[in-house]
Amino acid sequence: MKERLEQLKQEALEKVTQAENIQSLKDVRVEYLGKKGPITEVLKGMGKLSKEERPVIGQLANEVREEVANAIETKQSRLEDEALERQLEEESIDVTLPGRPVQVGGPHLLTSIIEEIEDLFIGMGFEIKEGPEVETDYYNFEALNLPKGHPARDMQDSFYITEELLLRTHTSPVQARTMGKKNGSEPVKMICPGKVYRRDTDDATHSHQFTQIEGLLVDKNVRMTDLKGVLNTFAKQMFGEDRDIRLRPSFFPFTEPSVEMDISCKVCGGEGCSVCKRTGWIEILGAGMVHPNVLEMAGYDPKEYTGFAFGMGPERIAMLKYGVDDIRNFYTNDIRFLEQYHKA
Amino acid sequence: MLVSLNWLQEYIDVSAYKPEELAEIITKTGIEVESVEPVAEDVTGVVVGCVVSCEQHPNADKLSLCQVDVGTETLQIVCGAPNIAEGQKVAVATPGAVLPGNFKIKKTKLRGEVSNGMICSLQELGVDEKDVPAEFSEGIYVFPEDAETGVNAISLLNLDDIIIELGLTPNRSDAMSMAGVAYEVAAAIDGQYQLADEKVTPVEDKTEDHLSVQVEDPEANPYYGAFLIKDVQVGPSPLWMQNRLTASGVRPINNVVDITNYVLLEYGQPLHAFDYNRFESNEIVIRFAKDGEIIKTLDDQERKLSSNHLVITNGEEPHAIAGVMGGAKSEVQEDTSAIILEAAYFAPSVVRESSKDHGLRSESSSRFEKGVDPNRVERAGKRACELLEKYANGKVLSGVASFDQLDRSEKQVTIQTSRINDRLGTEISNEEIQDILRRLQFSYEQEGEEFKVTIPTRRGDVVLFEDMLEEVARIYGYDRLPFTLPEGSSQAGGLSLYQQLKRKTKAYFEGAGLNETITYSLTHESKATMLMSPEIEQEAKAPVGLAMPMSEDHSHLRLSILPEMLESLSYNVARKQHDIAYYELGTVFVSEEEQVTAQPNEVLRAAGALTGTWHTNPWQQEKKDVDFFVVKGVVEGLSEHLNIPFTYEKAKLSHMHPGRTAVVKAGDEIVGFIGQVHPKLQKELGLKETYVFDLNAEKLFTKYSKEEAFQTIPRYPSVSRDIALVVDREEAAGDIVSTISEAGAPLVKNVQVFDVYQGENLPEGKKSLAFNLLYLDPNRTLKDKEVEEAHDNILSAVQENHNAEVR
Ligand SMILES: [Zn+2]
């Protein structure tokens, strides 16, 4: 019987080896390990054996069973792996084909610039204030030290609606309105972005509609060096740590002293080139210490309160930062232009 | 203001500075230099030559053979200019000379004759075509007879000059004169300058015996001085004067006019010369014009005057519009022999009105409008007399006929060193203040740290402490100010809820695939009211229009963003960009008045326009064009994003597709509309199917509540059930959803349409709709029986309200 078992084992293992698919492997299992299989047969005939032989053969039969079962299992798992591999191979795709496009829009370049500046000043503790685009003559001019007949009114020819109403020519009226609400006793720390309008014929450098951001800080003991410090922080964050600023005298009716701020030219590093008109500097914004008449009209005592204000044009900053060469591009809304600056 | 450096050098020594350096200093201390330009390119080796003889070239018709004395020798030169003649003084480029464009002059032979140089035209010397006098534009330049043979022609013609252009701000009218610039430069470089005294040698005859001056309105004309100059010989002015005028952008005319212009540039005081004989009176009367009075001005224009225009009259008729332009009748001409020279102070506002009304802005009016220096008015008259004596052979009568109520007093401003330092954030010393005042030539009395500063009248812009603060700061130097940060009260900066919602809305649209535009607020009147949302249309009486628009295309404020946005779609499509999805967050201007008197309501709108393909992936055969439901999806997404439920009702709006338009409601209020643009308008704009939305962001933001936006995630399972109904085709799915929601409340949390079908297997005029319902109780697990009951309720409600048949 021993020989018979050995022989069966050899036969079974041989068939396992030869099995090429899961079905033939199943057949081997049924043939050798099934209830009617030869090993079972052998075990059935054990009654004829002696007491001593019985356990020996029984153990041997079990060993053979186990060995065959293991072989089947190993082979089966190998066949399954091979089958899966074949299947996955069939599922293979061309990974170089383009992906399904996800449509994403984006902000207008001017909005990106304005929000960048907003966030920068929010970081320095400024609030954002907004105001009407149709303004009264009082807030647009008079409250800003520009009485009727003031020669500087020529500087900004305006779109009037009635004698007393006009499209604001700057966002400064928002400053006047904000200050006016403080009863002359609270500090103001704000920036005001928005659309403004001037009587200009649209061309590469002029637009009858454009945007502006102005800032205002009114408090006790505000110094001109504070203005310089805040503008320096702004310029370095907006244009890069390696840029220098300089202030030079200028004139605005609502500030005294008035200055213009230049930043060092990025193209030539201050050496002078065509971009900076050989000066090494590029004009960025106007600023100054709030004129005592403006403070007074807003209800502040200019002996007690002082302040600074500044204003800049996002179009100009965009033109400098991104090389836009025609201001009309901002308002034509050509999709190719808009999409180009989504990364801005 | 154009400043000739050669001229300036005569007043103050700036030779130690390169022109660019000087420009930088001037810019940093006070006045922006806009450009630094040489009059001509580098030219060398050109001298004044005298044409000794001039003969026809033996071998060429159009050439002359000239012998030219250049001082050191006489050169034979072949010349092709038609205007060459014997005896002329000409500009000769001798061998070795270099002309603009690095053109080197060599000894050469022309048609067999030796030519030792070149006789030059002004253009060949690098003069701008526009600055070449007409008489020399077609040939060589000829010097006045008194030009000295052999001298450097380049400097004689002022071609070695450099022009600095100053960009003057309205406050610095003091620098609208060479004297003013010299004072400014002296302060900037710590140099020396004083306006020199005038030197006139009058004849005994007195002006006052021949002229009287009468001023009717002293406020409009506080000073009027008239000088009388006889025996004048009108002719060209000296070359140096012509050169300086040209360098300053003023065209030379004749010596009398040139002298008045020269003094205007030198002193900043406009003057006017009348031909005394043509003035036809010994009486000068300055008064406001009569309405309808006529004057023919120097430019030969007949101008109708009115009572706000100040005029200079001879007692009867006007001979000049004060400060703006003289009359043609008493214009100085070649035969003029006696002149009345006017030196006056006209009130800025008076000159501004005349110049504005007549559209005449001149070198004169622009100075009067800013206010001239009261202490220089009469001096300027004397200076002109001095020059008329010298260069027009004039006999100046003694004295001046004048009216004089002019305030020439100097104002005082008191400053304290500590207060200056508090404002600037600096530590400037008393000594430094003294030094700055000395450089500015402002006199002062000092007591400790207090300075009583006397402001010269040339600096009429310095009135307040703050003005002096600026003077100190700019001369001290803004570069020397340290950087500090504000020390005062601190506040947390940030965005208001409204501003946050604007950003949130923008971020949503961009995430949804839309690009932001910024369009013009001013539009054509017809477009201002086009595509208005119904709730705007209800409020707005008329679009707000400009009093004086620049063009019809930008004459009225918009009541809808869409017309200009559609215009930009059209622009893109015309450039083969067919797939566009735009949105804009911007204001429209709503006035409830027929005739605007008060500020209009500025209402923030969120509008969008979409056309072309919405999504495509060609190799997977995916292509979805924009349709109503794409746009509705975008709007529904916003509704969800802001947590404000919208409902949609079919509507007919002008310029919109009558069957594919809906108003959007939040609660009972209309908050905008969506739909397809009317095919007629689409066609006009060259657009294919285009869908738009326009929402009242202003109103939506007020409805937004952050607290309500968040709910706890349910802990108990929901139950899902479907319903399929057959209804009349006209039944709106939205209405059935409402019925289901109402009947199923509070357990039904969500109703979703998942199938719409009409056609085969359904009776005529019917459609089938399928809904998925979600039942949920946030506090416990629902029992089957409860769901069954609610479901039955719903079924009977839809049967009853919509005549629906359950499938
Ligand atoms: Zn540069």
The reported pLDDT for the residue numbered A47 is 75
Residue B345 has pLDDT above 80, yes or no: yes
- Cβ separation B547–A151 shorter than 8 A: no
- Cβ separation B619–A97 shorter than 8 A: yes
pLDDT in tens, B6-15: 999 999 999 9
pLDDT in tens, B270-299: 999 999 999 999 999 999 999 999 999 999
Prior bond of B746 cis (ω within 30°): yes
The reported pLDDT for the residue numbered A8 is 83
Q: Which of B501, B560, B494 is nearest to B701 (CA)?
A: B501
Average pLDDT over residues A222-231: 96
Percent of chain A having pLDDT more than 70? 98
Higher per-residue pLDDT: A61 or B36: B36
pLDDT in tens, B386-395: 999 999 999 9
Average pLDDT over residues B356-370: 92
DSSP secondary structure letter of residue B592: -
The reported pLDDT for the residue numbered A217 is 96
- Cβ separation A306–B424 shorter than 8 A: no
The reported pLDDT for the residue numbered A9 is 85
Question: In terms of CA atoms, which chain B residue is nearest residue A201?
Answer: B550
Average pLDDT over residues B96-125: 88
**Chain B interface test: which of A93, A113, A121, A224 (most B C-beta within 10 Å):** A224
CA of A264 to the centre of ligand 1 (A): 8
CA of A320 to the centre of ligand 1 (A): 12
Minimal C-alpha gap between B474 and chain A (Å): 6
Minimal C-alpha gap between B197 and chain A (Å): 31
pLDDT in tens, A91-122: 988 889 888 888 899 999 999 999 999 999 99
The reported pLDDT for the residue numbered B495 is 92
Minimal C-alpha gap between B704 and chain A (Å): 20
Beta pairing partners, B68: B51, B75
% helix / strand / coil in chain B, to the nearest 5? 30, 30, 40
CA of B30 to the centre of ligand 1 (A): 22
Minimal C-alpha gap between A128 and chain B (Å): 6
Mean pLDDT lowest among A211-215, B135-139, B450-454 = B135-139
- Cβ separation B516–A338 shorter than 8 A: yes
In single-letter form, the type of residue at position B17 comes to Y
Label residue A176 exposed, middle or buried (CB < 10 Å: 0-12, 13-18, 19+): buried
Question: In terms of CA atoms, which chain A residue is nearest residue B508?
Answer: A105
Instruction: Enumerate residues 129 to 188 of chain B having a beta carbon within 8 A of any beta carbon in chain A.
Output: 169-172
Mean pLDDT lowest among A146-155, A228-237, B311-320 = A146-155
Full DSSP string of B742-804:
HHHTTTEEEEEEEEEE-STTS-TTEEEEEEEEEE--TTSPPPHHHHHHHHHHHHHHHHHHH--
Question: In terms of CA atoms, which chain A residue is nearest residue B554?
Answer: A208
Average pLDDT of chain B, as a whole number: 93
Residue B208 has pLDDT above 80, yes or no: yes
> Sorting pLDDT into bands at 50, 70 and 90, what band is A135?
very high
Label residue B489 exposed, middle or buried (CB < 10 Å: 0-12, 13-18, 19+): exposed
DSSP secondary structure letter of residue A153: G
Average pLDDT over residues B484-513: 90
The reported pLDDT for the residue numbered A154 is 61
Pull the structure tokens for residue B514.
């839309």
Same fold yes or no, B2-39+162-189 and B413-479 = yes
Average pLDDT over residues B568-583: 96
How much is the pTM? 0.85
3-state secondary structure of B551: coil
What CATH number has the domain spanning B413-479? 3.30.56.10
What CATH number has the domain spanning B497-703? 3.30.930.10
pLDDT in tens, B728-758: 998 999 999 999 999 988 889 889 999 999 8
The reported pLDDT for the residue numbered A3 is 82
The reported pLDDT for the residue numbered B273 is 96
Q: Which CATH number fits domain B2-39+162-189: 3.30.56.10, 3.50.50.60, 3.40.50.1370, 3.40.50.10800?
A: 3.30.56.10
CA of A284 to the centre of ligand 1 (A): 14
Q: Find all residues with CB under 8 Å of A122, minimum gap 6, and list them.
A: A128, B493, B494, B495
Average pLDDT over residues B99-126: 88
Binding residues of A for Mg(2+): 256
Exposed e or buried b for every residue in A81-115, given b needs 16+ CB within 10 A? Answer: eeeeeeeeeeeeeeeeeeeeeeeebbbbbbbbbbb
Q: Please measure the distance between the N-terminal and C-terminal CA atoms of chain A and give it in whole angstroms.
A: 87
Q: Please measure the distance between the N-terminal and C-terminal CA atoms of chain B and give it in whole angstroms.
A: 90
The reported pLDDT for the residue numbered B560 is 97
B363 within 8 A of B257, measured Cβ to Cβ: no
Q: Find all residues with CB under 8 Å of B680, minimum gap 6, and list them.
A: none
Higher per-residue pLDDT: A44 or A229: A229
Residue B709 has pLDDT above 80, yes or no: no
- Alpha-carbon span A70 to A82, nearest angstrom: 18
Domain boundaries defined on chain B: 2-39+162-189, 44-156, 203-404, 413-479, 497-703, 719-806
- Cβ separation B577–A334 shorter than 8 A: yes
B733 within 8 A of B795, measured Cβ to Cβ: no
Contacts of B425 in chain A (CB under 8 A): 223-226
Residue B478 has pLDDT above 60, yes or no: yes
Question: In terms of CA atoms, which chain A residue is nearest residue B470?
Answer: A257
Chain A and chain B share a number of CB contacts under 8 A equal to 250
CA of B137 to the centre of ligand 1 (A): 38
Contacts of A159 in chain B (CB under 8 A): 522, 546, 548-549
Superfamily of structural domain B719-806: Ferrodoxin-fold anticodon-binding domain (3.30.70.380)
Superfamily of structural domain B44-156: Nucleic acid-binding proteins (2.40.50.140)
* Out of A123, A208, A331, closest to residue B519 by CB: A331
Average pLDDT over residues B462-474: 96
**Chain A interface test: which of B416, B418, B516, B551 (most A C-beta within 10 Å):** B516
What CATH number has the domain spanning B203-404? 3.50.40.10
Residue A155 has pLDDT above 80, yes or no: no
Q: Which of B197, B122, B185, B116 is nearest to B153 (CA)?
A: B122
CA of B5 to the centre of ligand 1 (A): 25
Residue with tokens 């010349």: B79
B363 within 8 A of B250, measured Cβ to Cβ: yes
Percent of chain B having pLDDT more than 70? 99
Full DSSP string of B208-256:
GGT-EEEES-TTT-SEEEEEEEES----PPPHHHHHHHHHTT-----HH
> Beta B339-345 vs B271-275: how paired, if at all?
antiparallel
Full DSSP string of A114-134:
HHHHHHHHHHTT-EE----SE
Full DSSP string of B287-312:
EEPPTT-EEEBTTS-EEE--TTSEEE
- Alpha-carbon span A240 to A234, nearest angstrom: 10
The reported pLDDT for the residue numbered A156 is 58
Percent of chain B having pLDDT more than 90? 75
> Sorting pLDDT into bands at 50, 70 and 90, what band is B705?
confident
- Cβ separation B479–A246 shorter than 8 A: yes
Instruction: Enumerate residues 193 to 222 of chain A having a beta carbon within 8 A of any beta carbon in chain B.
Output: 195, 197, 199, 201, 208-209, 217, 219-222
Helices (H) and strands (E) in chain A, counts: 12, 9
Residue A329 has pLDDT above 80, yes or no: yes
- Alpha-carbon span B675 to B665, nearest angstrom: 14
Query: Diameter of chain A by CA atoms?
Result: 134
- Alpha-carbon span A152 to B720, nearest angstrom: 72
Beta pairing partners, B36: B164
- Cβ separation B602–A259 shorter than 8 A: no
Contacts of B622 in chain A (CB under 8 A): 100
- Cβ separation A289–B423 shorter than 8 A: yes
Q: Find all residues with CB under 8 Å of B154, minimum gap 6, and list them.
A: B40, B43, B44, B46, B125, B160
Up-side HSE of residue B709: CA atoms within 13 Å toward CB?
A: 12
pLDDT in tens, B580-636: 999 999 999 999 998 899 999 999 999 999 999 998 888 888 899 999 999 999 999
Contacts of B169 in chain A (CB under 8 A): 250-251
Q: Which of B775, B778, B782, B644 is nearest to B711 (CA)?
A: B778
